[in-house]
Amino acid sequence: MDAHSRGRADEIDPADQWVLNPQTGNYELRLDHSAGESQTPSRTRRSSTAAAAAPAAKADTGAGTGRGTATEAPVPGQRRRRVSEQGSGGQQPPASRRKRKQGASRKKKVLLWTGGTMAFVLVGGATGAYMLYQQLDGNIDVVDPIGVQSTGFRKGEAFNVLIIGTDKRTGEGNGGYGDKNSPGHADTTILFHVSKDRTNATALSIPRDLMTEIPECQSRLPDGKILTIPGQDQARFNVSLGQDGRDAGCTMRTVKELTGLTVDHFMMVDFNAVKELTTAVGGVKVCVEKAVDDPKSHLKLPAGESVIEGEKALAFVRTRSSFGNKSDLDRIKVQQQFLGSMIRQMKSDETLTSPTKLYDLAEAATNALTVDKGIGSLSKLQDLAKELSGIDTKNISFATLPVIDNPAEPKPITVVPHPTQAPQLFAALQSDTSLTQVKKRTQDAKNAQAQAQAKLLLGARAQAADVRVNVYNGSGIQGAAQSTINWLQNEQGVSRSTNKSNAPEKAAKTTLTYAPNQADQARKLADMMGLAATALKPGTQDAGEREPMTLVLGSDFKGAGVPINGPTKAPDVEKVEADKQVCAK
């Protein structure tokens, strides 16, 4: 049995079986740890596959990089393992090297995200050696936000990863971008929602200039003390990170407060991620309708397609002056187009079949990442990769949170969530509705009662102007009936709707009571409000010509225009699909 197949028998790490013989300067396989050093040069392992998987690693002995002959693969240097939180009290043994399985596909599934100005990363191709695994694992910065429950990935449940791109000017050459000593902001933020059936994903961009509530949060200082930061009723979203001592946990809470979605994990990167990741994959293809010469970002591109990397890639995703109306919202669109192209490049045969590119990408990605404890190791990131591996790029959509100009500002420079479109989009994500219209897996057959109820929604629909309804508020939310009336009349054309104030008692569920001759009106209103068939309560006697139906808002009411039962189809929002090349305008 070789070192790999022996595993950790007798508490011996497989790597400990390869020992440096100081007399020969070579590594040799020593299965008996009580034996003395060999007096003859040891036999180095031969593995052309492992040699191709990654560059030779530097030995920790200070002797430089080991090199093999034309037929011998380099022997990896010994490397200390990271000490656990409890600590072992002594030096850790070197990490072991794992052989690549014979016949393994070169198109192995890889880990895919992209962060802030670059949120998704690719990890996992360079796994030819466990020593390299340990090196990559040690690159990742891990934090444990206070009060944030970091869990794994449960089958049959959707999950959300918050991708945070900070504008902190750390890293070589980044001080020249200005604001050198700033602790950074949440410059570009993407909430990445993965569907419960793992067939699709939605990347929701949150504008940095969005005015929103930032809740009270706590962060851990370098000396271990806990800092409590007061909440703010209205503040720019980008100050949810870095400012006043806020960490990524504060940004996670802010997003939950804004969207109603639980944020399970976060990944944070800075400027270097864009430069290093784009270089690692050999550049990213972009397209612009007109030639660009931006003196502010120093971006110069000809009209049409170009391949960019490094500083030019960073300039492309940071420029505000070259596209659209020169706002942050138009910059977000360009970033989404860039990230879609980056994803396509990462999943291309050109990248997946190149061991050198995979290693460089894994090295760059892990160096760029700061993550929460729940995904704070390479093995946990690989678990995430498995959850994402089945998603086709055509089923990854980028969308921007719908907003309007801030009405509180005479000359708006900030934005606020759109009063109806934003809640609709949040409801779609909460109900796991795909923006790409991916066909859901067949659900369990409905019981006989549900099937009978569903028939109520079959049939003709009345015109909106012909719908008559009285609205009662049983939701417990102040003003719910009036906000619903405003929405029905102003946006849906239901002019014959009346606010009847509070219901006699609080209602658990929203219901619509109607007469048999009002069935077409009921179906129309059910379509508008996203009411399930179970919410419809048909009467036994016909109503008078001008008699209205009765709508009682229940505790399931989330806001005017927000589907009560979750949308049956994706909301109509502007989006970018990851599998399509779009030219920036």
Three-state SS sequence of 147-184: CCCCCCCCCCCCEEEEEEEECCCCCCCCHHHCCCCCCC
Report the chain's C-alpha Rg in angstroms: 29
Query: Of 353, 359, 385, 356, which is closest to residue 136 (Cα–Cα)?
Result: 359
Residue in this structure with the two tokens 């800075």, named with its chain if needed = 270
Quick check: 303 pLDDT over 90? Answer: yes
Residue in this structure with the two tokens 């999943």, named with its chain if needed = 347
Quick check: 403 pLDDT over 90? Answer: yes
Length of the chain: 585
Distance, in Å, from the CA atom of 308 to the CA atom of 316, rounded to the nearest integer, reads 9
Would you state the structure tokens that stand for residue 275, as one six-digit string? 């430069």
- What was the pLDDT predicted at 183? 59
Query: Of 132, 68, 135, 55, which is closest to residue 97 (Cα–Cα)?
Result: 132
Residue percentage of the chain with pLDDT more than 90: 33
Distance, in Å, from the CA atom of 532 to the CA atom of 522, rounded to the nearest integer, reads 11
Axis crossing angle, helix 130-139 with helix 378-388, rounded to the nearest 10? 90
- What was the pLDDT predicted at 567? 61
Residues 312, 557 contacting (CB under 8 angstroms) = no
Cβ-based neighbours of 523, under 8 Å, separated by 6 or more: 456, 457, 459, 460, 461, 462
Query: Of 461, 510, 508, which is closest to residue 481 (Cα–Cα)?
Result: 510
Q: What is the pLDDT of residues 215-254, one digit of tens each?
A: 999 998 888 889 999 999 999 999 999 888 899 999 999 9
- What was the pLDDT predicted at 91? 45
**Residue 13: alpha-carbon gap to chain centroid:** 36
CA distances from 470 to 475, 484, 489, 497 (A): 15, 11, 12, 6
- H or E stretch at 409: none
- What was the pLDDT predicted at 503? 94
Would you state the structure tokens that stand for residue 502, as one six-digit string? 């509070």
Distance, in Å, from the CA atom of 169 to the CA atom of 180, rounded to the nearest integer, reads 6
Domains and CATH numbers, the chain: 1-104 (no CATH), 106-271+342-437+574-585 (3.30.420.590), 448-553 (3.30.70.2390)
- What was the pLDDT predicted at 273? 82
Amino acid at 56: A
Instruction: Determine how many CB atoms are found less than 10 A away from the CB of residue 372.
Output: 25
Distance, in Å, from the CA atom of 322 to the CA atom of 298, rounded to the nearest integer, reads 11
- What was the pLDDT predicted at 66? 39
Confidence of residue 26 (pLDDT cuts 50, 70, 90): low
How open is the CA angle 312-315-319, to the nearest 5 degrees?
Answer: 150
Would you state the structure tokens that stand for residue 329, as one six-digit string? 């919202």
Q: 242, exposed or middle or buried, with CB in 10 Å at 0-12, 13-18, 19+?
A: buried
Amino acid at 401: L
| DSSP per position, 291-345 | -EEETTTTEEE-SEEEEE-HHHHHHHHH-SSSSTTSSHHHHHHHHHHHHHHHHHH
Q: What share of the chain is helix, strand, coil (3-state, %, to 5)?
A: 30, 20, 50
Quick check: 263 pLDDT over 50? Answer: yes
Q: What is the pLDDT of residues 83-132, one digit of tens each?
A: 333 334 444 444 433 444 444 443 333 333 333 333 333 333 333 445 67
- What was the pLDDT predicted at 182? 56
Query: Of 142, 126, 81, which is closest to residue 266 (Cα–Cα)?
Result: 142
Alpha-helical runs (H) found in 414-518? 421-430, 448-454, 480-491
Quick check: 428 pLDDT over 60? Answer: yes
Residue in this structure with the two tokens 């067949």, named with its chain if needed = 442
- H or E stretch at 546: none
- What was the pLDDT predicted at 80? 37
Task: Using DSSP, state whether 497 is helix, strand or coil.
Answer: strand
Instruction: Determine how many CB atoms are found less than 10 A away from the CB of residue 78.
Output: 19
- H or E stretch at 472: strand 468-473
Confidence of residue 261 (pLDDT cuts 50, 70, 90): very high
Would you state the structure tokens that stand for residue 474, as one six-digit string? 């049983």
Would you state the structure tokens that stand for residue 312, as one six-digit string? 């030019």
CA distances from 257 to 110, 250, 444 (A): 32, 11, 33
Backbone dihedral angles phi then psi of residue 233, each to the nearest 5 degrees: -65, -45
Distance, in Å, from the CA atom of 344 to the CA atom of 119, rounded to the nearest integer, reads 14
Read off the pLDDT of each residue in 312-341 and give the average, rounded to a whole number.
85
Task: Using DSSP, state whether 134 is helix, strand or coil.
Answer: helix
**Residue 576: alpha-carbon gap to chain centroid:** 15
Read off the pLDDT of each residue in 196-210 and give the average, rounded to a whole number.
92
Confidence of residue 180 (pLDDT cuts 50, 70, 90): low
Q: What is the mean pLDDT of the chain?
A: 75
Read off the pLDDT of each residue in 172-186 and give the average, rounded to a whole number.
55
Query: Of 417, 423, 415, which is closest to residue 260 (Cα–Cα)?
Result: 423
Amino acid at 441: R
Range from 89-98, 205-214, 273-282, 288-297 carrying the lowest mean pLDDT:
89-98
Axis crossing angle, helix 328-346 with helix 310-318, rounded to the nearest 10? 140
Would you state the structure tokens that stand for residue 259, as one six-digit string? 């969207």
Quick check: 188 pLDDT over 80? Answer: yes
- What was the pLDDT predicted at 205? 93
**Residue 123: alpha-carbon gap to chain centroid:** 15
Backbone dihedral angles phi then psi of residue 530, each to the nearest 5 degrees: 65, 40
Query: Of 208, 138, 146, 190, which is closest to residue 379 (Cα–Cα)?
Result: 138
Query: Of 283, 273, 284, which is closest to residue 363 (Cα–Cα)?
Result: 273
Alpha-helical runs (H) found in 211-323? 248-259, 271-280, 310-318
- What was the pLDDT predicted at 7? 39
